[in-house]
Amino acid sequence: MKNNSLLEVPNINSKDAKLKKLIYDVEDSLFYGGNYSNEEFEHLCICSGGTTSSCAKNGFTTLDLRKNYSKIHLDRKTNLVTIGGGVIMGDLVNHLQKHNRSFPIGLSKLPGAGYVLTGGVSPLSRAYGLAIDNIESIKGFLGNGTFISLKKNQTNPEEQLIWEAIKGAAPFFSIITEIELKTIQSNPIKVIEGFVNLNELSEIIKLSEEFPENISLQWIYAQKIYIYIFAELNNLEDKITEEYLMLLDKFPALEKHFYENFNKINFFPRELNLYELKADNHSEVISLLGEDLKNDVPIFIKCLSEIIDNKPNNSCYIASQQLGGKTKKLNHGSSFFVHRKSTWKPWIYASWKKNDLQEKKVALEWIYKSWNKLKRFYPNIHLAQLHNHLNFHEEEITLAFGNRMNELKTLKNIFDPQGILPPL
Ligand SMILES: Cc1cc2nc3c(=O)[nH]c(=O)nc-3n(C[C@H](O)[C@H](O)[C@H](O)COP(=O)(O)OP(=O)(O)OC[C@H]3O[C@@H](n4cnc5c(N)ncnc54)[C@H](O)[C@@H]3O)c2cc1C
């Protein structure tokens, strides 16, 4: 154990937090209840990629998995890759690319194992499922200190519920030190991207709801609207894909780019001037889930426009990514990502000058109000960030886990009875 008061991580809230203690190893002493349960509201924060506001908090202890759980190994016979619980997605895809393999990571290379364990929505998900759908086995510890090693289709009835809950709700009752994942062939990608106006966005959303599984739309509305249409080319003569992409020729500002593989793409260009990693700002983000907008596109666009008009400062934005296709299928087995019908995952992002409590209050109110406006289109939550430090945590987890909430509470009671891990 090492005493250190700060953690070097991408998320600025967490980077600024004054830690009580920093731990690098999952060892028995971690689970001696007295360490945590005596102090009200305290739990252990886990850090993998360090991209969220919950991996470090003032006065709390962080278990930093990045140092001792950072191995990546690709088995060339099975094409399964084993990663440590502290591996970031950029390192994973860089390793895989050497062998012409890839993995459906999200829009950023920075997130760590938290991306995989909370679901993992990728521009490739429509074709390959969520990240959790590609988990083959895991190793780790339950909040009561019990070591677990589980493999897909080889769990006994007692283990089956843990296995399902790890896929989507792991952070509440377990510390995962190793994950085995299926990999995919690395294929070239065509991206059509650029700035559009609200009318064009409306048209493009309509088109995208008819896209085949290898094409997905992601858009971001900060100062202006920027879109990415992402098409995986399984073969370079793919006529159907070309026909869909030709429908976008009528939008003059959009540019076509060809990338040899997924790794070469960097989403969110500098021109967007996003505040995500600005050192003077703290931020929060909440992710929603819902189905195709269909005839509601015009009224959604009106609502979006109102939300952006009301944003309290320039840092705030709304963005969205498209899922559906394979993510709707349950053939990977049941999981705690319960809203399988979802085809859109919008997220609401706000930040504020880090010491300005008034601006923080206004920014968080804007998130909450915007969420309420968007609920009619996107009633559910993707719990990609834990917000137990915010007022709306309870509402979020209820909308994230739906009819599996009681099972999750039971698992938490049995396997993390002392509340060592983040509270539900
Ligand atoms: C720039 C950016 C782009 C993103 N794009 C996408 C996207 O396209 N699709 C998508 O689905 N999400 C996306 N996300 C969200 C991101 O995947 C989640 O917030 C994820 O939880 C972050 O994981 P982390 O390991 O980096 O975070 P951390 O802050 O290190 O961890 C977050 C929480 O996860 C838990 N956790 C992490 N690792 C473990 C472990 N090994 N065992 C148990 N619990 C663990 C901890 O409780 C921790 O509090 C994006 C985030 C950012 C910052």
281 shares its domain with 395: yes
319 shares its domain with 356: yes
User: Per residue in 177-201, pLDDT tens?
Assistant: 999 999 999 999 999 999 999 999 9
Question: Ligand 1: does its nearest atom lie under 6 Å from the Cβ of 121?
Answer: yes
Give the mean pLDDT of 137-152.
96
Question: Ligand 1: does its nearest atom lie under 6 Å from the Cβ of 120?
Answer: yes
DSSP string covering 160-192: HHHHHHHHHHGGGTEEEEEEEEE-EE---EEEE
**CA 182–ligand 1 middle distance (angstroms):** 19
| Separation between Cα atoms, residue 80 and residue 97, nearest integer Å | 14
Domain presence at residue 416: no
Q: Which residue intervals of 216-356 are DSSP H helices?
A: 239-246, 297-309
Give the mean pLDDT of 122-141.
97
Domain presence at residue 418: no
246 shares its domain with 146: no
Domain presence at residue 201: yes
386 shares its domain with 262: yes
Domain residue limits at 348: 189-403
Mutation test of ligand 1: which of 55, 109, 317, 351 has the most ligand atoms closer than 8 Å to its C-beta? 55
290 shares its domain with 197: yes
Q: Percentage of the chain with pLDDT > 90?
A: 86
Domain presence at residue 411: no
Mean pLDDT over each residue of the chain, to the nearest integer: 93
Residue 344: its pLDDT value, please? Answer: 98
234 shares its domain with 361: yes
Does the pLDDT of residue 151 top 80, yes or no? yes
Domain final residue pick, 185, 209, 241: 185
Give the mean pLDDT of 141-167.
95
Type of residue found at 367: I
Residue nearest (by alpha carbon) to ligand 1 atom 23:
114
- Number of H helices and E strands in the chain, helices first, is 12, 18
| Separation between Cα atoms, residue 349 and residue 255, nearest integer Å | 26
Give the confidence band of 1 by pLDDT, cuts at 50, 70, 90. very low
Question: Ligand 1: does its nearest atom lie under 6 Å from the Cβ of 384?
Answer: yes
Residue 2: its pLDDT value, please? Answer: 47
Residue 37: its pLDDT value, please? Answer: 60
| Separation between Cα atoms, residue 130 and residue 342, nearest integer Å | 12
Question: Ligand 1: does its nearest atom lie under 6 Å from the Cβ of 386?
Answer: yes
112 shares its domain with 238: no
Closest ligand 1 atom to the C-alpha of 131? 11
User: Per residue in 105-127, pLDDT tens?
Assistant: 999 999 999 999 999 999 999 99
Domain presence at residue 213: yes
Residue nearest (by alpha carbon) to ligand 1 atom 17:
115
Residue nearest (by alpha carbon) to ligand 1 atom 22:
114
Lowest mean per-residue pLDDT among 173-187, 202-216, 255-269, 342-356 = 255-269
**CA 122–ligand 1 middle distance (angstroms):** 13
Domain final residue pick, 185, 216, 238: 185
CA atoms within 13 Å, Cβ hemisphere of 231: 25
Q: How many domains does the chain have?
A: 3
Give the confidence band of 331 by pLDDT, cuts at 50, 70, 90. confident
| Separation between Cα atoms, residue 199 and residue 323, nearest integer Å | 22
Residue 34: its pLDDT value, please? Answer: 67
Question: Ligand 1: does its nearest atom lie under 6 Å from the Cβ of 111?
Answer: yes
Residue 268: its pLDDT value, please? Answer: 80
Give the mean pLDDT of 312-329.
95
Domain presence at residue 419: no
199 shares its domain with 277: yes
- What is the CATH number for 144? 3.30.465.10
Of 221, 251, 263, 248, nearest to 124 by C-alpha is 263
Does the pLDDT of residue 238 top 90, yes or no? no
Give the mean pLDDT of 132-161.
96
Give the confidence band of 279 by pLDDT, cuts at 50, 70, 90. confident
328 shares its domain with 378: yes
Does the pLDDT of residue 159 top 70, yes or no? yes
257 shares its domain with 350: yes
**Which comes out higher in pLDDT, residue 30 or 273?**
30
Across the strands, what pairs with 155?
none
Domain presence at residue 2: no
CB 386 within 8 A of CB 394: no
Domain presence at residue 327: yes
92 shares its domain with 231: no
Residue nearest (by alpha carbon) to ligand 1 atom 37:
114
- What is the CATH number for 388? 3.40.462.20
Domain final residue pick, 134, 163, 185: 185
**CA 295–ligand 1 middle distance (angstroms):** 33
Closest ligand 1 atom to the C-alpha of 268? 1
Give the mean pLDDT of 90-97.
97
Closest ligand 1 atom to the C-alpha of 46? 46
Closest ligand 1 atom to the C-alpha of 321? 8
pTM: 0.96
101 shares its domain with 126: yes
